[in-house]
Amino acid sequence: MLLTPDRIRTLQRKLYCKAKQEPDFRFYSLYDKVYRADILGHAYRLARANKGAPGIDGVSFKSIEKDGGEIKFVQKLEQELKEKQYRCQPVRRVWIPKPDGSQRPLGIPTIRDRVVQMAVKLVIEPIFEADFCDSSYGFRPKRSAHDAVDAISEALLTGHRQVVDADLSKYFDTIPHSKLLTVVATRIADKEILSLIKQWLKAPVVEQDGNKHRIIGGGKKNRLGTPQGGVISPLLANLYLHLLDRIWERHDLPRFYGGRLVRYADDFVILCKGKIDAPIQMVKMVLDRCELRLNDQKTKIINAYQDSFDFLGFRFQMRRSPRSGKWYPHTEPSKRSEERIKATVKRLTHRRRTPVSVPDLIDEINYATQGWSAYFHYQHSTKVMARVKWFTEERVRKHLCVRHKVRTRTNGYKRFSTDFLYNKLYLYRIPTYAKWKRAQALQ
């Protein structure tokens, strides 16, 4: 993880404090901070650490390093911004498969655009961070999905049993540019910053068709959407739904409705102690003003004492403790999350992959299971982690039997024992006992 240089951190702290002390203040001189050499240099290193693919121009970080490296790249970008000659390039569209078989569009800006977006984000994020509400957890400094999970567990524990599991219909594709820029302008009066953001919102979206590129979206006439994949997109998307958080908080709806809002970017749940009709109507009214709408097919109303609901990859449900008999919020990786990691391990250990060397195969499996475990080894995940651990061991053992033509299961266990997998092949040992959290302490 890259540490923010002291000089940049000092600037961010000053901007945050100013925004916090004066909620109505509009910042009018920020553009000169964006093209500062230290900010552009740090933005470049952050973009490189994300290891993204090249954009439409085909320029990769490796090619930049060969052609003069970071210093030359940053100096050229600094000059373009300083002379106001910078123009963003088209966004490359790729499709990412989803678990249900459909595909999700992902926009990949060029490295040049990603660095400038990162520089703008470094400057303006502290300003909006001062305004964000406690109910928002997504894409914010010092906040994580686990914090949102804890907030839901605490709400369930305090009697918020009626749950609205909300789903927005094509949120990133339907954000109206005019209203989004108006929200940004409530804090940013610098026309150059607003011009940069408008450029990125209206950048042409290009898809590769063989050896040719064709424009499939975006452009000056485009009025809706922010491309998923851009560095600045999560901040802008978070900022636009901040309107919902602010209305919920300013009208003291938790006290009137006995409800609690937990939002992570465009995913949110509403947990209520009593009736849920009024909170739902209020949310629909706010979304309607924002020209957004709920996906009625995916939005569910659940009693947590009777059914479970999924959020951020976890499954939540109130259960009775087998020890004390008291109700507690049971939180574990969802069935979908479990099946996804199993599918990944199964794909990596398929018999067709026997030509891959064993060390490389184990490295790939470790990379997948370690990343999954780092996120899901939380709260009541012990049983799920144990199942995934057992499944991984069996798949690796079965693959080795195929590779070495071991025909019986008994011989497979003898030759490729559990100790052999972990001590000789260095397979990642998936942890099983979950971390002890406050939710368990209050059972």
What CATH number does the domain containing 297 carry?
3.30.70.270
Residue 252: its pLDDT value, please? 78
Residue 200 lies in a domain: no
Query: Strand 314-320 and strand 327-333: pairing?
Result: antiparallel
Q: At what angle do helices 277-289 and 233-250 cross, to 10 degrees?
A: 130
Split into its structural domains, the chain has a count of 3
Same domain, 414 and 285: no
356-363 long-range Cβ contacts below 8 angstroms, 24+ apart: 358/400, 358/403, 358/425, 359/425, 361/399, 362/396, 362/425, 362/426, 362/427
Same domain, 65 and 82: yes
Q: How far, in Å, are 118, 206, 209 from residue 172 at the CA level? A: 19, 17, 24
351: number of CA atoms within 13 Å, CB side?
5
CA 11, CA 42: separation in Å to the nearest integer?
A: 14
Same domain, 77 and 157: no
361-368 long-range Cβ contacts below 8 angstroms, 24+ apart: 361/399, 362/396, 362/425, 362/426, 362/427, 365/392, 365/396, 365/427, 365/428, 366/426, 366/427, 366/428, 368/341, 368/344
Same domain, 16 and 94: yes
Residue 191 lies in a domain: no
Residue 424 lies in a domain: yes
- Of 274, 307, 329, the domain-final residue: 329
CA 208, CA 279: separation in Å to the nearest integer?
A: 45
List % helix, strand, coil for the chain (3-state, nearest 5).
Answer: 50, 15, 35
Same domain, 37 and 49: yes
Residue 208 lies in a domain: no
Residue 403: its pLDDT value, please? 93
- Give, for all 443 residues of the chain, the pLDDT tens digit: 688 999 999 999 999 999 999 999 999 999 999 999 999 999 999 999 988 888 888 899 999 988 888 899 999 999 999 999 999 999 988 888 776 667 778 889 999 999 999 999 999 999 999 999 999 999 898 899 999 999 999 999 999 999 999 888 888 888 999 999 999 999 999 999 999 999 999 998 888 776 677 777 777 888 888 878 889 999 999 999 999 999 888 877 777 777 899 999 889 999 998 888 888 888 889 999 999 988 888 888 999 999 999 999 999 999 998 888 899 999 999 999 999 999 999 999 999 999 999 999 999 999 999 999 999 999 899 999 999 999 999 999 999 999 999 989 999 999 999 999 999 999 999 998 765 554 444 44
Residue 193 lies in a domain: no
Q: How far, in Å, are 183, 267, 299, 434 from residue 177 at the CA level? A: 10, 20, 25, 44
Same domain, 255 and 286: yes
Residue 257: its pLDDT value, please? 75
Please state the three-class secondary structure of 63-107 as a single string. HHHHCCHHHHHHHHHHHHHHCCCCCCCCEEEEEEECCCCCEEEEE
Under DSSP, the state recorded for 38 is: H
Residue 102 lies in a domain: yes
60: exposed, middle or buried (C-beta count within 10 Å: 0-12, 13-18, 19+)? middle
CB atoms near residue 359 (< 10 Å) = 10
Same domain, 95 and 49: yes
- Of 301, 329, 357, the domain-final residue: 329
Query: Strand 103-108 and strand 267-272: pairing?
Result: unpaired
Contact 279, 270 (CB under 8 A): yes
Residue 203 lies in a domain: no
Residue 298: its pLDDT value, please? 85
- Of 329, 355, 372, the domain-final residue: 329
CA 280, CA 167: separation in Å to the nearest integer?
A: 12
Contact 150, 439 (CB under 8 A): yes
**Domain of 424, in residue numbers:** 334-440
DSSP helix/strand/coil, 224 = strand
Same domain, 324 and 343: no
CA 70, CA 238: separation in Å to the nearest integer?
A: 30
Residue 94: its pLDDT value, please? 84
Residue 253: its pLDDT value, please? 74
Same domain, 351 and 246: no
Residue 101: its pLDDT value, please? 65
Residue 376: its pLDDT value, please? 94
CA 314, CA 389: separation in Å to the nearest integer?
A: 18
Contact 106, 94 (CB under 8 A): yes
Same domain, 29 and 71: yes
CA 22, CA 3: separation in Å to the nearest integer?
A: 28
Closest CA to 292 of 244, 259, 246, 229: 244
Same domain, 436 and 340: yes
Residue 182 lies in a domain: no
CA 375, CA 145: separation in Å to the nearest integer?
A: 9
Give the list of residues 6+ apart from residue 243 with CB closer than 8 angstroms, or none.
183, 286, 289, 290
Same domain, 250 and 284: yes
